[in-house]
Structure 1
Amino acid sequence: MNAPRRRADATENRARILQAAREVIVNANEVRLNEIAKRAGVGQGTLYRHFPTREALLAEVYRKDVDDLVAAAPELLAEHEPLPALAGWLDRVAEYAKVKREVFAAVEAGVWQDLSAHSLGPIGEALTTLLDAGKAEGVIRPDVDARDIILLIGYLTRLEPAEWDARAHHLLRVILDGLRRHT
């Protein structure tokens, strides 16, 4: 009877660790594991049981952000027309890119390549879903594809932290305006 409780606690601890790590990645100048454990309300041992290395933790934060971003595409289409759904998804891209920039800056090249491989396919598929819906409604240009947009949004990882708030969402709106079909 105690085993299921521990599993639920372990799952909850893992989720809190990931959330705390994401907050630290986005808001701190340095990713410190003791700060992440403290924010998550767990001890160092619990953190290391779930994530034996700093890189493992950062990679999992990144993977979760990718998975959340991909899952958002059909959810947004279920709630909104294609163009507003794409706009909402691009807003999420800005937050994803902020985490991506910080994670990639903090991990080794080998882990970076693995994370890139994890994101490009699923994100391209999610973006294709949004673009296809907009094309079907005639609100998105027929001559663009997911790769075009992935190349354009790659700039987000180049923004300096001091200009993030002023530029990230604004530049995504410029891209969105360029995607609109003009009649």
Structure 2
Amino acid sequence: MRADAVRNRGLLLEVALDAFTHGKDVTLGAIAKKAGVGIGTLYRHFPTREALIEAVYRTELEKLCDAAPELLKTHEPEAALRAWMDRFIAYLATKRDLKDALQAVIALGVNPFEHSRAKMTEALQLLLAPLGATAEPMDVMAMLVAVGQNGDPDQAKRMLDLIVDGIKYGAVTRNAAARTAPPAPEPR
């Protein structure tokens, strides 16, 4: 793609994200106008409303997953994991805000989430490896989803800190070992 086409596509995705998370009945014409491009440009990049919605979701997913290696380059491993967790919580909020729009995509038989789990698992594995963590990425993701459902940002921050501490200090390993250890003998 030419540089102007890349720029236009990025602007359309940015405006569409804002539009789809704040209003249900936004028109594609309004999105194109706010992005400063013609409707033809929008349709060249995204032939349908659903294609635009899917691209918005996938772009947010890519931003989240692509952040993992970048955070590891600029932060210590523990801080990189914690920063990524904050981004994961923001991603969940965006996904929740896109719920109605995504349901329209799903209704057409498209699964925008098809590769989401694999990409997020890969990002988490990358972040956990330098910590020597034995936590299962899917277990960590389940905890993050639970935290993301919490409406209190201060409590969410504390809970994320607890998750990082558990990973850092091996709580997952200790708990797994306790589940597989034989029961203690009964006292006589």
The question of 1:153 aligning with 2:148 is answered: no
The normalised TM-score by structure 1 is 0.76
* Separation (CA, whole Å) in 2 of partners of 1:156 and 1:31: 30
**1:30 aligns with one of 1, 18, 24:** 24
Q: Which has the higher helix share?
A: 1
Unaligned residue ranges in structure 2 (runs of 5+): 172-188
In the superposition, relative to structure 1, how do residues 84 and 34 fare at CA in structure 2: closer, same or farther (>3 Å)? same
The normalised TM-score by structure 2 is 0.75
Moved more, 118-127 or 149-158: 149-158
How many residues were matched structurally?
Answer: 168
What is the root-mean-square deviation in Å for CA atoms of aligned residues?
2.7
In the superposition, relative to structure 1, how do residues 71 and 9 fare at CA in structure 2: closer, same or farther (>3 Å)? same
Report percent identity of matched pairs: 38
Tell me the residue number matched to 1:176.
Answer: 164
**1:54 aligns with one of 27, 30, 49:** 49
Unaligned residue ranges in structure 1 (runs of 5+): none
* Separation (CA, whole Å) in 1 of partners of 2:19 and 2:159: 25
Deviation at 1:128, TM superposition (A): 0.6
Tell me the residue number matched to 1:104.
Answer: 99
Amino acid corresponding to residue 168 of structure 2 in structure 1: R
Moved more, 81-90 or 64-73: 64-73
In the superposition, relative to structure 1, how do residues 103 and 130 fare at CA in structure 2: closer, same or farther (>3 Å)? same
* Separation (CA, whole Å) in 2 of partners of 1:55 and 1:164: 32
**1:9 aligns with one of 4, 8, 14:** 4
